[in-house]
Structure 1
Amino acid sequence: MHKIAVLFIVLLSAFRLSGQELNCLVTVNSEQIAGSNKQVFSTLQRALNEYINQTEWTDRAVKPEERVNCAMTIIITARNNNNFSATLQVQSTRPIYESSYASPILNIKDSDFNFKYNEFDPLIYNKNTFDSNLVSTIVFYAHIILGIDADTFALNGGEKELEEAQNAMLQAQQSGLAAWQNVVGKQNRYALIDNLLAPKLKEYRRVLYGYHRKGFDNLIHSKPNAKQNIEDSIIALEELYNKTVGNYLIRLFFDAKSDEIASVYSEVSKTRKKQRLIAVLRKISPNNNSKWRKLE
């Protein structure tokens, strides 16, 4: 009897550790759509919340407190029966070691989100074929969130998740939709995952690791060294900037991090490479120059 009780406890613990990886708030905003019958949007919102938060996306054991906090905001811009046009905002954060601070990791706006949906349609994903742009897009970004998050904790730690996102993209190319295609100069889903896995741009993922694990996670123990590691990581982005014009990864980084960087380095205290940091920031992210002036 004692052995049975022990086995039950072990199995229960294993069950608790194999829970879902995402703690995602999905919002479907239909304010731009005229008409009073909007029940379909409430149904869609509920279905997406259940799908994302109840799916086991990886084979990793995850405690409830280790789930990745994120949000997906779908703004419906047009409707034609069961065809919808929308924008999708994808955001995620990461906890900082021994701190209550949540560092922003992703802040992506996808403006080319078109899909079909009938109320109460089941949300089913087949990794070997393309069935639904709605489901494929959600699956794609779920793996992007998990992959980028893992990269901030271990060097290239999100490889498997990013490869799953790549597979979702490859299958979705069957749809012919522009967001999944290789279009020169277009910062779309194809470009996002292609850049993240490109060997020549691998420095970006090293930057993510150094910035968070060697930088922010060490602020509580050694602020000067941590800030130096953060500086070195940001300065390393210049190499990526010089490799390709209009690099999507540069935009990806600063769309999430510009306010955080401005806050950390707006203090009066100087660091060894602060002037170099400011020069690099002005060069690679000129759209945020109003924020960089706060660093002077």
Structure 2
Amino acid sequence: MRNLFLLFTFLFSTVVISQELNCTVSVIAQQTGNENDVIFKTLGNQLTEFVNNTKWTDKKFSQQERINCSMIINVTEQSNNLFSATLQVSSSRPVFNSTYSTPVYNYNDRTFNFEYLEFQNLVFNPTQFESNLISVLSFHVYMILGMDADTFELNGGDEYFYQAQTIASYSQQLNGQGWKLEDGLQSRFSLINNLTSPIYKGMRSTMYKYHMEGLDLMNEGVKEGKSQIITSLEGLEKVHSVRPNSYLMRVFFDAKADEIMDILSGGPSVNIADAVNILNKVAPMHSQKWRDIKY
């Protein structure tokens, strides 16, 4: 569905490549006190090549179809070839017939520990553990692909989420944090288990309706698109009634809270009282934003 959608936007493009991402990978090492060490520059360059040049799917993407995303690795500690870091991942996708890009995935991975030797070979194996460095980045690549696909087709991200789940499963052999049930409710394990659980299907349908039936229709009628976005939020309320204050809900609003506030505050005028009530219920952590909505 993504390829069909973007065919209309980039009809005259003829260059076809295999890679799926246009990703900026940055390594920040100020907290180590050795931020000028050449190894951090080498790491950033190698990871940029790894993420952007690996063939992650069997689909073909034109240059314009590549998903824009970023990964910011903040190294907090280094001991020889052992690194402790956090990883901020974000992605966006274009809104049909506009110059606007909407945020889709925004995730702060706070438990990113890895081993790295300068110029080591970085290769992804879909069925076998290679290293925690490879596993964590590959996991988030498939999260980016899956979340993006869900915005173009209902449950379109299934194949990518299943691969992310496979990565999480075979990475449990390592002592690295974030891969196991006991690592808590805000881990990679919890994230992918929630996304593949039927309990949260309302959130995935919201991703599709919000984008394809809301944002992408605003070029035809802003009022209708805005109304459809409001309607899509009802799916979040259903999930909240079963799993209140879920981590997956927080991940959704980390990407979407500012955008939703802007959409509901802007014209044309529609009845948004019910939407604001839903938002206060399902995302109280952003209550100040909901109070700032002007209507």
Task: Give the structure-2-normalised TM-score.
Answer: 0.91
CA distance in 2, matches of 1:251, 1:99: 28
Q: Counterpart in 1 of 2:25? A: 26
SS of the residue aligned with 1:238? helix
Matches within 5 A, 1:15-54: 16-35=15-34, 38-54=37-53
Whether contact under 8 Å (2:17, 2:63) holds in the other structure is no
Verify the 8 A CA contact 1:127 1:171 in the aligned structure 2: no
Q: Which amino acid in 1 is paired with 2:293?
A: L
| Distance in 2 between residues matched to 1:215 and 1:268, nearest whole Å | 14
**Sequence identity percentage:** 40
Q: Provide the rounded CA distance (Å) in 1 between the counterparts of 2:21 and 2:266.
A: 34
Indicate the residue corresponding to 1:106 in structure 2: 105
Do residues 293 (structure 1) and 291 (structure 2) align?
Answer: yes
Deviations 1:51-101 (A, max 9, x none): 111111111121110000000000000111111000000000010001000
Query: What is the distance in 1 between the residues matched to 2:267 and 2:45?
Result: 47
CA distance in 2 between partners of 1:99 and 1:128 (Å): 39
Which AA in structure 1 matches 2:274? R
Q: Residue 176 of structure 1: CA displacement?
A: 3.4
Structure 1 residue 16 displacement after superposition: 4.3
Per-residue CA distance 1:164-195 (angstroms, 9 max, x = gap): 11111111011133300013752110011111
Equivalent residue in structure 2 for 1:278, among 269, 276, 284: 276
Letter of the structure 2 residue corresponding to residue 282 of structure 1 = N
Aligned-partner Cα distance in 2 for 1:198–1:16: 38
In 1: Cα distance, 2:176 partner to 2:284 partner: 31
Match of 2:136? 137
Distance 1:109 1:252 in 2: 9
The SS at the match of 2:151 is: helix
Distance in 2 of aligned mates of 1:58 and 1:150:
12
Q: Which residue number corresponds to residue 264 of structure 2?
A: 265
CA offsets 1:11-50 (integer angstroms, 9 cap, x no match): xxxx943420000000000111113761111000000000
Partner of 2:79: 80
Equivalent position SS for 1:99 = coil
Letter in 2 for 1:140: F
2:242 counterpart residue number: 243
Question: Which amino acid in structure 2 is aligned with residue 283 of structure 1?
Answer: K
**Residue in 1 that maps onto 2:7:** none
* C-alpha distance in structure 1 between counterparts of 2:240 and 2:95, whole Å: 27
Q: Distance in 2 between matches of 1:228 and 1:71?
A: 31
Q: Alpha-carbon deviation of 1:123?
A: 0.7
CA–CA distance in structure 1, aligned partners of residues 38 and 252 of structure 2: 37
Give the corresponding residue for 2:67: 68
Check conservation: 1:216, 1:226, Cα contact below 8 A.
Answer: yes
Residues 203-242 of structure 1: matches in 2 within 5 Å? 203-242=202-241
How far apart are the structure 1 equivalents of 2:119 and 2:97?
43
CA drift of 1:244 comes to: 1.5
Aligned length: 281
How far is the alpha carbon of 1:201 from its aligned partner? 1.1
Q: For 1:198 and 1:36, how far apart are their aligned partners in 2?
A: 41
The Cα shift of 1:290 comes to 1.3
Please state how far the C-alpha of 1:209 moved relative to its aligned partner. 0.3
Tell me the amino acid that sits aligned with residue 79 of structure 2. N
Can you give the 5+ residue segments of structure 1 that lack an aligned partner in the other structure?
1-14
Cα gap change, 1:271 to 1:133, in 2 (>3 Å) = same
Decide whether the 8 Å contact of 1:18 with 1:60 is kept in 2.
Answer: no
Provide the residue aligned with 1:6 in structure 2. Answer: none
Structure having the higher Rg? 1
8 Å contact from structure 1 (residues 43, 120) kept in 2: yes
Which residue type is aligned with residue 222 of structure 2?
A: K
Q: Which runs of 4+ in 1 moved over 3 A?
A: none
> In structure 2, how many angstroms separate the alpha carbons of the residues matched to 1:50 and 1:237?
37
The 3-state SS of whatever aligns with 2:265 is: coil
Q: In structure 2, what is the equivalent of residue 178 of structure 1? A: 177
Hey, what's the Cα distance between the residues in 2 that align with 1:121 and 1:88?
Answer: 20
Q: Distance in 2 between matches of 1:125 and 1:86?
A: 20
TM-score (normalizing by structure 1): 0.91
Bigger Cα displacement from structure 2, 92-101 vs 282-291: 282-291
Equivalent position amino acid for 2:67 in 1: V
